[in-house]
Structure 1
Amino acid sequence: MSDELKTADVAGKKVQWDPAQMRKIQEHPCFSEKACHTFGRCHIPVAPKCNIQCNYCIRDFDCVNESRPGVTTKVLNPEEAMEMIGKVVKKYDYIKVVGIAGPGDPLANEETFETLKRLHEKYPGVIKCISTNGLLLPDKIDLLQKYDVGNITVTLNAIDPEIGAKIYQFIDYNGKRYTGIEAAKLLLSQQLKGIEMAVERNMIVKVNTVYIPGINEDHIVDIAKKVGGMGVYTFNIIPLIAQYKFADIAPPTPEMKKKMQDACSQYVKQMRHCQRCRADAIGKLGHDVQSCMYENK
């Protein structure tokens, strides 16, 4: 492996990632742009519940032609998930990653951890991946490490609570509902703590930031600078899908997105090949086969 893969200059200082993890992400299509042409992923939709409400997120319907987070053909239980994984790895030998990305927040669902437990026991060599809003990441990090989850994606849309308060309608934590600035402060604290703990455990962390014109667009470079300095491996700018409370906001154009990525790239490596995957996505990025797999169930 090249030294470029092992280390990188981030915010003016040298950050070193665990070589074993770096070898793994060479087969992870979301963490490696080269891998996305050769290897695939299998998202298992076992996590319907979510503990926050974002003003851009709605999960009330499914369309087979939609490719966006929060959409799934059906929610699987852990036993059904293992059956699906078995069929997928048997039929598609290029699938190297099994991830849980919803349709809610994986860490807010016990089914996630039962599935990870079974996955770890039956397929110890598969790359395991979680995508989360980060609210419960500090609380669940040890379980994720126990089940060999080496890749963590955290959606972090603001490091200024005043901006965060415009993005999140409410947050549920430890049996209490939070709103406004209080909610945004709590979420941010947990997100940053969780990212720090994941990096300390040699997990490879990706941060997703939803680009919301008029809300956080002047703040995204600050987010990139912050997380780059924490040792986050890659940063993914996701253009807003105009829906729910933000239905009237015009999404950023591809040119706006590229300009933002270029501005952020001095602080953290940019992911430029994201396909905004469904919670049940199977296959290579941009070449999904989940409709075939669910039809055959």
Structure 2
Amino acid sequence: MAASTPAFPALEGRHPCFSTTAEGHSRSARLHLPVSPGCNIDCAFCIRDFNRRDQRPGVATRLLTPEQAVDIVERALELCPTINVVGIAGPGDPLATPHALRTFALVHERWPELVLCLSTNGLMLPERIDAIAAVGVSTLTVTVNSIDPQIQARITPKIAWQRKRVDGVAAAERLIANQLDGIARAAALGLTIKINTVLIPTVNDHHIGAIAARVAAAGAHLINIIPLIPQHGFAHLPAPGMIARYAARTAAEQHLRVFTHCQRCRADACGIPGVSDYAAELYGDGLSAEPTFSHG
């Protein structure tokens, strides 16, 4: 498919993360609702936080209840009437707690015309996919950083699964199996699926083509290669350079359309990615975090 041809004509110009032309991406406003406090996996590249400074996933100004999120949607649509997409991508994983699905149900009931989008690590995806579809979610992003348990164990050394901590390769095997199963189930239900893959030098940079091939076989439609932000357990690694990013995208595009406009959005983003930002108007200057906020 030519790069200038939209991958998803029905979403082009409506959903920035599924608009594959520059023109379509720059027309699309979205709103992220930070309703998900906890996470069920511990990734070496991830630090979740509440601040106004960082422009990256896992960060928000405050945490919302589902009912507060409905009020935020109403205010956001007044500030930015071109919003077509309401997404939930954190600050924790949306499927680790029930808040995201409750929020989607409330939003879909009031604004059924909005595109609903969920971003998840995929651990709970097989168990929750029917509920996800039932509340009106039509676009799904799953973060898949390896299909090799030995590599994944370096990226995600522990998970919480069935009320128990699982470590190392066993944790990696469970996560990968659930991700691939969840993607297949989501595809069978007709969801449009994008994969996010963090490009981590010396860890998974040689493995991107294999990831793309496997998730494509499972039913994914698009892949987004996200350069590592050196922090947390990978603070000692360099951010991948232009050549490494190009090589990864080249390997991935043998199997999937590659998304190239990612702005590494915050969990409370509002507006057109890289063009407009209404988060300050929505949330003000005050930071607000619940004391039970979990770092996995």
Please report the TM-score for the alignment, with normalisation by the length of structure 2: 0.90
1:255 aligns with 2:243: yes
Query: 2:124 and 2:30 mapped to 1: Cα distance?
Result: 24
Query: 1:235 and 1:115 mapped to 2: Cα distance?
Result: 26
Letter in 2 for 1:59: R
**Deviation of 1:147 (Å):** 0.8
The residue number in structure 2 matching 1:54 is 43
**Deviation of 1:232 (Å):** 1.1
Output aligned runs, 1:250-289, within 5 Å.
250-287=238-275, 288-289=277-278
Specify the SS of the correspondent of 2:205: coil
The residue number in structure 2 matching 1:230 is 218
**Deviation of 1:264 (Å):** 1.5
Letter in 1 for 2:260: R
The size of the alignment, in residue pairs, is: 280
Letter in 2 for 1:32: S
Task: From 85, 91, 98, give the equivalent of 1:97.
Answer: 85
Specify the SS of the correspondent of 1:108: coil
Runs of 4+ in 1 over 4 A off after TM superposition: none
Letter in 1 for 2:75: K
The residue number in structure 1 matching 2:289 is none
Query: 1:81 and 1:237 mapped to 2: Cα distance?
Result: 29
**Deviation of 1:106 (Å):** 0.2
Q: Deviations over 1:88-125 (max 9, x none)?
A: 11221111000000000001111111111101110111
Letter in 2 for 1:110: P
**Deviation of 1:142 (Å):** 0.6
The residue number in structure 1 matching 2:16 is 29
**Deviation of 1:199 (Å):** 0.6
Output aligned runs, 1:125-140, within 5 Å.
125-140=113-128
Query: 2:81 and 2:242 mapped to 1: Cα distance?
Result: 33
More moved, 221-230 vs 162-171: 221-230
Letter in 1 for 2:202: G
The residue number in structure 2 matching 1:42 is 31
Query: 2:28 and 2:144 mapped to 1: Cα distance?
Result: 27
Counting aligned pairs with the same residue, the percent is: 42
Query: 2:220 and 2:12 mapped to 1: Cα distance?
Result: 14
Query: 2:281 and 2:136 mapped to 1: Cα distance?
Result: 29
1:124 aligns with 2:112: yes
1:148 aligns with 2:136: yes
Query: 1:132 and 1:231 mapped to 2: Cα distance?
Result: 16
State the superposition RMSD in angstroms.
1.8
Query: 1:143 and 1:70 mapped to 2: Cα distance?
Result: 23
Specify the SS of the correspondent of 2:245: helix
Query: 2:116 and 2:68 mapped to 1: Cα distance?
Result: 18
1:76 aligns with 2:45: no
The residue number in structure 2 matching 1:217 is 205
Letter in 2 for 1:27: R
Query: 1:159 and 1:137 mapped to 2: Cα distance?
Result: 16
The residue number in structure 2 matching 1:239 is 227
More moved, 36-45 vs 22-31: 22-31
The residue number in structure 2 matching 1:192 is 180
Query: 1:137 and 1:114 mapped to 2: Cα distance?
Result: 16
Any stretches of 5+ residues in structure 2 without a counterpart?
A: 287-296
Contact 2:56–2:266 under 8 Å retained in 1:
yes
Specify the SS of the correspondent of 2:60: coil
The residue number in structure 2 matching 1:115 is 103
Specify the SS of the correspondent of 2:108: helix
Contact 2:50–2:61 under 8 Å retained in 1:
no
Shift in CA distance, 75/136, structure 1 to aligned 2, threshold 3 Å: same
**Deviation of 1:229 (Å):** 2.5
Letter in 2 for 1:130: L
**Deviation of 1:33 (Å):** 3.0
Contact 2:152–2:169 under 8 Å retained in 1:
yes
Specify the SS of the correspondent of 1:106: coil
